[in-house]
Amino acid sequence: MQLRTHLEIDTSLSGEIIELSEGSAVLKLKTDRRMVADEKGLVHGGFIFSLADFCAMATVNEPTVVLAQASIKFLKPVVVGDELIAEGRLIKAEGKKRWVFVEVKRGEEKVAEGEFLCVVPEKHVLS
């Protein structure tokens, strides 16, 4: 399956697609110095959120999909150099709405998880 959404996203900051199928996606993000929040090498949560958000968008994989709502829990700290894997799966579809659950892991350890409400409008939100 080919990615049909968010084609201009910087995958070095938001994750690279490693698996994509109907209703699911798996992305990988190798954290680097651009993501560091402090002198100890803590990765800012915004980059983890970006990975999870892009994973949700790829799971829906519609050209016009946008995020309407998100609920995410950060469970463990992430440090520079960590490789993260985000796995998204469609849990419900109703009209133009799609609910996606995303888990973000470092190896077998879950570092974040969340539910994303995505909407698929008929045309681009900026049109």
Total-model pTM: 0.97
Phi/psi for 65 (5° steps) reads: -60, 140
Instruction: Quick: pLDDT tens for 48-71.
Output: 999 999 999 999 999 999 999 999
Q: What is the pLDDT of residues 65-87, one digit of tens each?
A: 999 999 999 999 999 999 999 99
What is the full DSSP assignment across 49-69? HHHHHHHHHHHH--TT-EEEE
What mean pLDDT do residues 20-28 have? 98
Quick check: helix, strand or coil at residue 106?
Answer: strand
CA angle 86, 90, 93 (to 5 degrees): 150
Q: Are 22 and 9 in contact (CB under 8 A)?
A: no
What is the distance, to the nearest Å, from the Cα of residue 73 to the centroid of all Cα atoms in its chain?
13
pLDDT for 79-109, tens place per residue?
999 999 999 999 999 999 999 999 999 999 9
